[in-house]
Amino acid sequence: MRKAIFPGSFDPITNGHYDIIKRGIPLFDEIVIAIGVNADKKYMFSLEERKRFIEETFKDEPTVSVVTYEGLTIDLCKKLGAKFILRGLRNPADFEFEKAIAHTNRQLSKIETVFLLTAAKTSYISSSIVRDVLRNGGDYTVLVPDAVRVSGK
Protein backbone atom coordinates (compact mmCIF):
# COMPACT_ATOMS: atom_id res chain seq x y z
CA MET A 1 0.00 0.00 0.00
CA ARG A 2 1.36 3.39 -1.01
CA LYS A 3 0.50 5.74 1.86
CA ALA A 4 1.70 9.36 1.90
CA ILE A 5 1.67 12.01 4.58
CA PHE A 6 1.05 15.58 3.42
CA PRO A 7 2.22 17.68 6.38
CA GLY A 8 1.68 21.38 7.06
CA SER A 9 0.09 23.90 9.33
CA PHE A 10 -2.72 24.65 6.84
CA ASP A 11 -3.51 28.04 8.41
CA PRO A 12 -5.65 27.94 6.28
CA ILE A 13 -5.63 25.33 3.54
CA THR A 14 -5.25 27.07 0.17
CA ASN A 15 -6.08 26.23 -3.43
CA GLY A 16 -2.38 25.44 -3.83
CA HIS A 17 -2.58 22.75 -1.14
CA TYR A 18 -5.81 21.50 -2.70
CA ASP A 19 -4.15 21.21 -6.12
CA ILE A 20 -1.22 19.17 -4.77
CA ILE A 21 -3.49 16.82 -2.83
CA LYS A 22 -5.88 16.26 -5.75
CA ARG A 23 -2.95 15.54 -8.06
CA GLY A 24 -1.46 13.21 -5.46
CA ILE A 25 -4.61 11.09 -5.11
CA PRO A 26 -3.91 8.96 -8.23
CA LEU A 27 -0.30 8.42 -7.11
CA PHE A 28 -1.06 6.98 -3.67
CA ASP A 29 -3.53 4.52 -2.22
CA GLU A 30 -4.00 6.83 0.75
CA ILE A 31 -3.05 10.41 1.61
CA VAL A 32 -3.07 11.52 5.22
CA ILE A 33 -3.17 15.28 5.58
CA ALA A 34 -1.23 15.91 8.77
CA ILE A 35 -1.76 19.20 10.57
CA GLY A 36 1.35 19.91 12.57
CA VAL A 37 1.00 21.59 15.95
CA ASN A 38 3.75 23.98 16.98
CA ALA A 39 3.27 25.55 20.42
CA ASP A 40 5.59 28.42 19.48
CA LYS A 41 3.50 29.45 16.47
CA LYS A 42 0.52 31.81 16.61
CA TYR A 43 -2.24 30.64 14.29
CA MET A 44 -5.08 32.67 12.76
CA PHE A 45 -7.40 29.65 12.77
CA SER A 46 -7.83 27.17 15.60
CA LEU A 47 -6.70 23.58 15.12
CA GLU A 48 -10.36 22.51 15.07
CA GLU A 49 -11.19 25.04 12.33
CA ARG A 50 -8.21 23.99 10.20
CA LYS A 51 -9.14 20.32 10.56
CA ARG A 52 -12.78 21.05 9.72
CA PHE A 53 -11.80 23.06 6.60
CA ILE A 54 -9.76 20.13 5.30
CA GLU A 55 -12.30 17.43 6.21
CA GLU A 56 -15.06 19.39 4.50
CA THR A 57 -12.92 20.03 1.42
CA PHE A 58 -12.09 16.33 0.97
CA LYS A 59 -15.32 14.78 2.30
CA ASP A 60 -15.92 13.06 -1.05
CA GLU A 61 -12.40 11.60 -1.29
CA PRO A 62 -12.38 8.26 0.59
CA THR A 63 -8.60 7.87 0.28
CA VAL A 64 -7.90 11.20 2.01
CA SER A 65 -7.93 11.54 5.80
CA VAL A 66 -6.85 14.20 8.30
CA VAL A 67 -4.86 13.89 11.53
CA THR A 68 -3.13 16.31 13.86
CA TYR A 69 0.31 15.67 15.32
CA GLU A 70 3.24 17.07 17.23
CA GLY A 71 6.88 16.18 16.71
CA LEU A 72 8.74 14.87 13.71
CA THR A 73 6.86 14.03 10.54
CA ILE A 74 8.96 10.89 10.08
CA ASP A 75 7.78 9.66 13.48
CA LEU A 76 4.19 10.14 12.31
CA CYS A 77 5.03 8.26 9.10
CA LYS A 78 6.37 5.33 11.11
CA LYS A 79 3.35 5.36 13.43
CA LEU A 80 0.89 5.35 10.50
CA GLY A 81 2.89 3.04 8.25
CA ALA A 82 3.47 5.67 5.56
CA LYS A 83 6.50 5.28 3.31
CA PHE A 84 6.16 8.67 1.59
CA ILE A 85 5.93 12.37 2.40
CA LEU A 86 4.15 14.45 -0.23
CA ARG A 87 5.25 18.09 -0.66
CA GLY A 88 4.43 20.86 -3.10
CA LEU A 89 7.00 23.22 -4.58
CA ARG A 90 6.08 26.75 -5.64
CA ASN A 91 9.49 28.27 -6.34
CA PRO A 92 13.27 27.77 -6.02
CA ALA A 93 13.25 28.90 -2.38
CA ASP A 94 10.70 26.17 -1.55
CA PHE A 95 12.90 23.65 -3.34
CA GLU A 96 16.03 24.53 -1.34
CA PHE A 97 14.15 24.46 1.97
CA GLU A 98 12.28 21.23 1.20
CA LYS A 99 15.41 19.55 -0.20
CA ALA A 100 17.24 20.02 3.10
CA ILE A 101 14.30 18.55 5.04
CA ALA A 102 13.97 15.64 2.60
CA HIS A 103 17.70 14.81 2.90
CA THR A 104 17.44 14.95 6.70
CA ASN A 105 14.35 12.73 6.73
CA ARG A 106 16.06 10.27 4.38
CA GLN A 107 19.12 10.18 6.64
CA LEU A 108 16.99 9.51 9.72
CA SER A 109 14.58 7.04 8.12
CA LYS A 110 13.69 5.22 4.92
CA ILE A 111 10.90 7.69 4.16
CA GLU A 112 10.94 9.07 0.60
CA THR A 113 9.76 12.59 -0.16
CA VAL A 114 7.76 13.06 -3.35
CA PHE A 115 7.65 16.59 -4.75
CA LEU A 116 4.94 17.93 -7.04
CA LEU A 117 5.29 21.32 -8.69
CA THR A 118 2.34 23.57 -8.04
CA ALA A 119 0.15 24.46 -10.98
CA ALA A 120 0.99 27.83 -12.54
CA LYS A 121 -2.43 29.18 -11.57
CA THR A 122 -1.82 28.52 -7.84
CA SER A 123 1.95 28.92 -7.58
CA TYR A 124 1.72 32.37 -5.99
CA ILE A 125 -0.68 31.34 -3.21
CA SER A 126 0.56 30.76 0.34
CA SER A 127 -1.25 30.59 3.65
CA SER A 128 0.59 33.71 4.80
CA ILE A 129 -0.71 35.65 1.76
CA VAL A 130 -4.24 34.43 2.50
CA ARG A 131 -3.92 35.53 6.15
CA ASP A 132 -2.66 38.95 5.07
CA VAL A 133 -5.56 39.39 2.65
CA LEU A 134 -7.98 38.32 5.41
CA ARG A 135 -6.47 40.68 8.00
CA ASN A 136 -6.83 43.56 5.58
CA GLY A 137 -10.41 42.81 4.56
CA GLY A 138 -9.61 41.72 1.00
CA ASP A 139 -11.39 39.12 -1.09
CA TYR A 140 -9.60 35.89 -0.17
CA THR A 141 -12.26 33.59 -1.66
CA VAL A 142 -10.37 32.99 -4.91
CA LEU A 143 -7.38 31.70 -2.91
CA VAL A 144 -9.02 28.98 -0.78
CA PRO A 145 -11.41 26.02 -1.10
CA ASP A 146 -15.11 26.62 -0.45
CA ALA A 147 -14.94 25.18 3.07
CA VAL A 148 -12.72 28.09 4.15
CA ARG A 149 -14.98 30.63 2.47
CA VAL A 150 -17.94 29.70 4.65
CA SER A 151 -15.96 30.25 7.84
CA GLY A 152 -17.37 33.74 8.31
CA LYS A 153 -13.93 35.27 8.76
Q: Is 29 exposed, middle or buried (0-12, 13-18, 19+ CB in 10 A)?
A: exposed
Active site residue 78: no
Active site residue 46: no
Question: Phi then psi for 35, rounded to 5 degrees?
Answer: -85, 110
Q: Summarize the annotated binding site for ATP as residue ranges.
A: 9-10, 17, 88-90, 98, 122-128
Active site residue 17: yes
Active site residue 103: no
CA 92 – CA 76 distance, rounded (Å)? 27
CA 24 – CA 45 distance, rounded (Å)? 25
Q: Which residues of 8-22 are buried (b: 16+ CB within 10 A; e: fewer)?
A: bbbbbbbbbbbbbbe
Q: Summarize the annotated binding site as residue ranges.
A: 9-10, 17, 41, 73, 87-90, 98, 122-128
Q: Summarize the annotated binding site for substrate as residue ranges.
A: 9, 41, 73, 87
CA 108 – CA 23 distance, rounded (Å)? 27
Q: Is 85 exposed, middle or buried (0-12, 13-18, 19+ CB in 10 A)?
A: buried
Of 22, 23, 90, 106, the catalytic one is 90
CB distance 50 to 35 below 8 Å: yes
Q: Which residues form the catalytic set? A: 17, 41, 90, 127
